[in-house]
Amino acid sequence: MKEIKLRIRKPDDSREYYPTVVIKANLDTWSGGTSYDIDFNRQAKDPIHSSLTRWWSGVLSSRKLRRSVNIPKLIFTDGVPSLLYIGELPIAITNIGSRFQLNGKTESANTIANALARVTVTAMRENSPTKLMTSLMKVLSLSEDVKYVLENRVPFHYFIDFKKVEVRLKVQQISEKECAIEISDGVWAPIKNTELKSFCSFFLHGKKVGKFKYMGIKRLYTYLMGKEPTDSQLELMRQFLRQNRQQDIVEDRAIQLLHEMVAQQPERLQLTMDGKQPQRLLIKGNGYDWKLSNTEFKSDIQMVSTYVLQPNLETNEEGLPKNYEDCQWEWKGPICIDNMSKGSSLGDQFATRALALINDTHTIQIVNTIKRYLVAPANTNRKDFDEMHRMSGK
């Protein structure tokens, strides 16, 4: 049994790693290495989990990779369980042809890879085999996709005049193997968990496979309800879907969160709105004063401009720098602070940056782009909100 050490890089600019996870198993390590580093996938909804799942999929895969690929392989004897340890948790994995069993239960390779990824994250902070086994059983009770849509609604899209409309539909679990989707106002359609996973393959992951691919409104209603909708039922469904557009739901939730944050800390946050959109957020951090602005030129990972209040280091008649208090203070920036992953709404980007900058003394240590804008020491010549607004202009 070979022992390897797995290091997962933190999703920030610190270049630091989470605590090392020790994995023991009958492994073929082509590279001869005993340590493997996992980087985060910023394109994914869960960057760390996505990278770990991909890594474990490679470990389980029977496909031969080039020796230059830095990934170990779990060695299987057909029909004989292969014992794997993640931390102190023993796991038995059996490969029979194209099928896998985890602790005697048949699962897809993707489900097992997801489960091992979740346990790996738990093992970064837990050593107890009991707690690790609890984590594993929770993961296996429902697939990753089903858990995701129960928390975040299930995506669906349709077309109006060749324009794609993306919506989010509520999902509730109604039994161990079945859920229900609200497809119209008060109309809940039952769907098996296996079919819900197939639904997610196309509408969540964009894979052009399964019975639900390219399924429109009418076909969806007919399939889930077992009968074709009447004209009035179909029109009601269209109106319902218009009210559940994905971007509207995501943005409304984010703006609500932003208002709640400001209400909870009015002495540290002050928000200026332009209609329904946040325009400016002033933040009194632990060490510095900050401003977030709705940027004119937006990208997926940066829709908000960040500024910090700092002095211009003017010199006196002798050519020496003036005291910080005697200098002209102004907003320095915009500071490049990218989101870890794409797809965050404007409100979410305001909220996440506000939380980070309230605790700026910590954030400065892990976001390297901030440091070069800081001239004065922390808590020098702090301003009140009225002065910060005056310096921001209109």
Residues 169-216: pLDDT tens digits?
A: 999 999 888 999 999 998 999 999 999 999 999 999 999 988 999 999
Domain count, the chain: 3
Q: Are residues 78 and 179 in the same domain?
A: no
Q: Are residues 363 and 262 in the same domain?
A: yes
Q: Are residues 275 and 351 in the same domain?
A: yes
Put simply, whether the predicted model's pTM sits higher than 0.85 gets the answer no
| Alpha carbon 89 to chain centroid, angstroms | 27
Q: Are residues 162 and 127 in the same domain?
A: no
Domain C-terminal end among 121, 141, 161: 141
Q: Are residues 183 and 74 in the same domain?
A: no
Please give the backbone phi and psi of residue 143, each rounded to the nearest 5 degrees, phi first.
-70, 160
Instruction: Give me the chain's average pLDDT, please.
Output: 86
Domain C-terminal end among 229, 244, 259: 244
* Cβ proximity of 149 and 200 under 8 Å: yes
Q: Are residues 238 and 291 in the same domain?
A: no
Closest-CA residue to 89 (of 76, 77, 102): 102
* Residues 6 or more apart in contact with residue 350 via CB below 8 angstroms: 254, 258, 278, 281, 292, 304
Q: Are residues 104 and 16 in the same domain?
A: yes
Name the residue with tokens 């060695």.
75
In this prediction, residue 27 has a pLDDT band, given cuts at 50, 70 and 90, of: confident
Strand order in the sheet with 269-274: 269-274, 277-284, 289-299, 302-311, 329-335
DSSP 71: -
pLDDT in tens, 265-314: 999 999 999 888 899 999 999 999 999 998 765 555 577 899 999 988 76
Pairing outcome for strands 82-86 and 21-25: antiparallel
Q: Are residues 332 and 280 in the same domain?
A: yes
In this prediction, residue 98 has a pLDDT band, given cuts at 50, 70 and 90, of: confident
Q: Are residues 210 and 294 in the same domain?
A: no
* Mean pLDDT, residues 83-100: 89
Q: Residue 68: CA atoms inside 13 Å, Cβ hemisphere, count?
A: 0
Per the structure, the complete domain to which residue 259 belongs is given by 248-392
Q: Are residues 98 and 185 in the same domain?
A: no
Taking the C-alpha atoms of residue 135 and residue 123, their distance in angstroms, rounded to an integer, is: 10
CB count, 10 Å around CB of 56? 24
Q: Are residues 14 and 73 in the same domain?
A: yes
Q: Are residues 239 and 254 in the same domain?
A: no
Name the residue with tokens 């020790």.
22
Domain C-terminal end among 122, 141, 160: 141
Is the pLDDT at 95 greater than 80, yes or no?
yes
Percent residues over pLDDT 70 in the chain: 90
